[in-house]
Structures are given as structure tokens and as C-alpha cells.
A and B are shown apart, each in its own frame.
Chain A
């Protein structure tokens, strides 16, 4: 999907310094129309700074940036009419109802979506007449998304949209985003959740210390589709295993990295049957996006 279609976001050599600290240290990226692009990285890696430069909230220190053909630094009204923003923290008047809120924001845009349609899209139909004050945290977050959709934007920025969600709420939020892509929207997403990027994104860029360290489709990023599979199990206590290249993997388990997992598994299970041994907790996995992430970010967890 990358490389084709119209460029919606184009960034070259983007830098942002706060005093001596370089929050963004030279980033190149692009997002094409209709694509879901995820910027994945630990806290403090520069995700929000990058996003806020593209949204027009921050001025960059150096580099080039284009959003929908305009320089976001100018913060033009024309650009803002075509984008929708879900910030990391909510910011909605608590004393208006859900319907009033969407109606208010829809009114800022030249060709808004139907108010009730937007409310339905995020699953708040039953809360239409409820004041924002009375919504739960998850419902307020969905309202955030609804507000961003009110103007029927072409491009949607979602900055850590599911942080603080319980698993069910996250699933729901993902479905909302999936629905958006079905509507042909372009989505620029930041997250520190691997599964979120894996599930939603067409393309992922992993960012660490202000730099993009690796980029690609979630299934093939950093060659994870051709990397060796991992076979893990708990070996039986009383019998010695044949030499299959196993190494201890903690918690009493061992791990085998296999180019050809089918053959190794065949040998392993054959041996187990012959010896009447059981292979507890047996699992086979490809390197996860998380493995790639940990490898490239050094597993670091900074602070915001």
C-alpha cells in the first residue's frame, strides 16, 4: 500500500528542540490517502511532539512538513477544515449534552457529517441527551473521536486513543477506527500498544529517542515474516531431550529458534510420543511486532 496513491502527509528531516533537548531528531515519513499509519514508540520517544507539529499546534525547529498540501505551521483554516484531531487528553465542555457537543463542533466545518450519524458511529446513541459530565471515561473518549469526526475530515489524527481503556473498550475503539478506514479516511495514529498497531495499521514506524528506527507493514516489518519461528515448551523433568538447539527461556521453559518449524516440531513430538513424555505449555510463534519493537527501542521506557 505504501508508495502508491496521493500523499496526505509528507515529512522530511523534521526536528524539534526544546532548549538543548531534541524531542524529534530528524524524522522522514509519509502517509498516503486511505492508509492507517501508526507511529509506535515508548513514552517520551517524540510521538506526540511529531503529531502536534503536523496538527499545527507546535512549530518545528527544522525540516519540511506537508499536510494535505499545506505547511501545518501556518495553521490555515483550510487545513483545519479537512482534519480531525483526537488529542491525548479530552477537552469538552462538561455542561453540554453529547448531541449539543457534536452539533456545536459540526457547525465549525463547511460540510459536516450528520450529527446523529456521528453519534451512532461511536456508539453513543443512548447517551445523546446526556451531559458530558455524566459520561464514563471510555464514553468521553468515544465522544472525543466523535468530535473529531463531526466535520467529516479526510485525515484523522489519533494520539494514543486507547490509553487507559479496559480491553473491551479498546476493542470497541478499534472497531470504530476500522469503520473509518472503510469510509476512506486516512488515519495517523500514535500508540505504545503493539497489538493496536498490529490490528489497525497498514504501515508502522517505530520511533525511539526522536528518530524512526524501522518502518514497514506490521506483518513484515524488519523481516519478521522471514525470521525464525520460536518454539517454546516446558521439558519433561525425568527424560533428557534430544539436541534440537534448545536454550533455557526462563520459568523452567526452553526455546528453540527454527528456520523450518514444521520439521523441528515433527522431530520433537515424535520423540515425545516415543518416550511417553508430555510437552507442557507448547507454543509456536513468529517473532511478534513486540519482539521487533523491543529490539529496536532497546525495551526502553522513558518518561513523558
Chain B
């Protein structure tokens, strides 16, 4: 390797343009990356053909694990374990803190439909009649 400083001998490649592009991309990726905290429960999402994207902010999530464990928290990945009996009161409490919040249910494909039914009942009791089920895109599923 030739040591610096480089003399004018031989072909010299002007790297300025490449470095500019590299830094531009670097800045872009640095600004768009969102580091995700690990979700309270590992969930394999069911797939659907819906094309509505999950809103990025202002949501609260009800996580339902495969065994029917319930976790509730603001945002996409936070959550504390909540028994089913307390779900309604916790939801009402979170709604009072932020009335604009949208509720999403993030449940495992293998969870029992009865648990989801109970969660929907709790949502209804908390007067949350609009909510969303988080799914993967059908094609993404092998």
C-alpha cells in the first residue's frame, strides 16, 4: 500500500462523489431506522390480504400470546401482563390518558379464538368499538 501523502503519480480516482452518496444514504438510514424494543411476548402473526398499514404512533396494543397470555401497553412493543378480568379497566385507564389512542390486537395465530372473543368483549365494555387486528401480508407467508 502506498503511504500518504499521495503524490500525483499514477491514476488518481476522485472519490468525493462516492463519499457524498455514501454519507447521504448513511444519513437516510440513520434517520429512518427505528429500533424496536422486544415485544413482551413472541407472536407469530396471522396473514391477511388487507392493505391498511398499522399506524406508527398513537396506538395501544393488546398482545395475546399463544397460550392466551395478555399484555397491554401503549405503543407497539411495550406491555405489562394483565389478567383478563382487569383488561377493561386497564384499557379505560389508557384511553383516559390519551383519548386519541387507537387500539390494536396483536395476537398469535395459534391463540384460541375464545380468548380473542373475550378480548373483543372487554374492548366493547371499555367502549372501544374501533380497533384493528395486526396481521402480516399474506404473500409474506411462505
Instruction: Answer yes or no: are A and B bound together in one complex.
Output: no
